[in-house]
């Protein structure tokens, strides 16, 4: 009884990773340092060509001094407009690399980078949340990043952090970013649902016990976090949701399936105390 599971945040970021791998050129080659950063501040730089931007090249090569000169020579609108083929900005690249120094430089030039999404709506905040780059995450929030800004699937940065199991990122987004622990994506799935699907129990426990998330909120097709945990064989999560969060094992999705159906499909005994413990 396998049901469709919506694309995870990791899959949403695959396009960005592919782009970053491409511009890195595969195997690292010895880079020639720029003797004169003005070489990167000529007409080509001012044109800010996608993928051919000197700003992107300097960032990828780690030439911070050159990048600083480029930022100084260009208007903030031009810097914000540098995009990859999939819409990733300079801030997305810095966030993915966890480079808080460069990210700080970029945000100081134009803070709007904290809120610009790629073609799938994922912002640098989503990237940092998924990868657990705490320093970068805080820098983005300080610059005006919105913890509740959704991507094209309606997922917020908290969904991304919960799906990847980065508890500190979840805490930062909720406590410092004011993010909604019960936010739903376009399919009605919450951060607790994402964490349950991926088996990240500590994130679920904090979201429920500290942030006040409701572990029984169902998606648009009636699937709850308990359904998701049972469907993906996350036995410890299943046990905790039933035993400590008091989620009913008899709750039915829109097609009538209960968590017990999914547990049985995974070969888990429905007589197991981890499945059928008392509420």
Q: Please state the domain count of the chain.
A: 2
The answer, as to whether pTM is greater than 0.85, is: no
pLDDT value of residue 134: 95
Q: Is the same domain home to 132 and 200?
A: no
Tell me: pLDDT of 219 over 80: yes
Range of the domain at 241: 185-279
pLDDT value of residue 44: 40
Q: Is the same domain home to 136 and 7?
A: yes
Burial of 132 (0-12, 13-18, 19+ CB in 10 A): middle
Q: Is the same domain home to 13 and 113?
A: yes
Q: Is the same domain home to 7 and 130?
A: yes
Q: Is the same domain home to 135 and 194?
A: no
Provide the token pair at 192.
Answer: 């607790």
pLDDT value of residue 49: 37
Please report whether residue 110 resides in a domain. Answer: yes
As a whole number of angstroms, the longest Cα–Cα distance in the chain is 72
Please report whether residue 163 resides in a domain. Answer: no
Q: Is the same domain home to 136 and 202?
A: no
Q: How far apart are CA 120 and CA 216, in angstroms?
A: 28
Q: What CATH number corresponds to the domain at position 137?
A: 1.25.40.20
267: left (phi over 0), alpha (psi -120 to 50) or beta: left
Domain end position, chosen among 145, 177, 197: 145
Provide the token pair at 65.
Answer: 């001094």
């Amino acid at each position: 009884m396998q049901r469709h599971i919506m694309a995870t945040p990791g899959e949403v970021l695959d396009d960005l990773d592919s782009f970053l791998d491409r511009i890195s050129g595969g195997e690292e080659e010895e880079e020639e340092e720029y003797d004169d950063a003005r070489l990167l501040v000529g007409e080509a730089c001012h044109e800010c060509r996608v993928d051919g931007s000197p700003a992107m090249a300097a960032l990828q090569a780690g030439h911070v001094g050159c990048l600083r000169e480029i930022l100084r020579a260009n208007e903030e609108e031009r810097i914000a407009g540098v995009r990859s083929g999939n819409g990733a900005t300079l801030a997305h690249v810095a966030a993915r690399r966890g480079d808080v120094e460069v990210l700080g430089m970029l945000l100081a030039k134009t803070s709007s980078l904290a809120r610009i999404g790629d073609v799938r709506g994922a912002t640098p905040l989503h990237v940092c949340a998924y990868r657990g780059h705490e320093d970068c995450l805080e820098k983005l929030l300080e610059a005006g990043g919105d913890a509740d800004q959704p991507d094209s699937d309606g997922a917020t940065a908290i969904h991304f952090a919960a799906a990847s199991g980065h508890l500190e990122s979840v805490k930062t987004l909720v406590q410092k970013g004011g993010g909604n622990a019960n936010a739903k994506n376009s399919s009605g799935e919450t951060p607790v649902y994402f964490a349950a699907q991926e088996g990240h129990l500590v994130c679920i426990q904090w979201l429920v016990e500290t942030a006040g998330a409701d572990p029984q909120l169902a998606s648009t097709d009636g699937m709850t976090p308990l359904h998701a945990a049972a469907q993906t064989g996350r036995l410890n999560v299943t046990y905790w949701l039933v035993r400590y969060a008091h989620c009913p094992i008899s709750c039915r999705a829109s097609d009538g399936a209960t968590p017990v159906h999914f547990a049985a499909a995974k070969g888990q005994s429905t007589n197991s105390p981890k499945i059928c413990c008392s509420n």
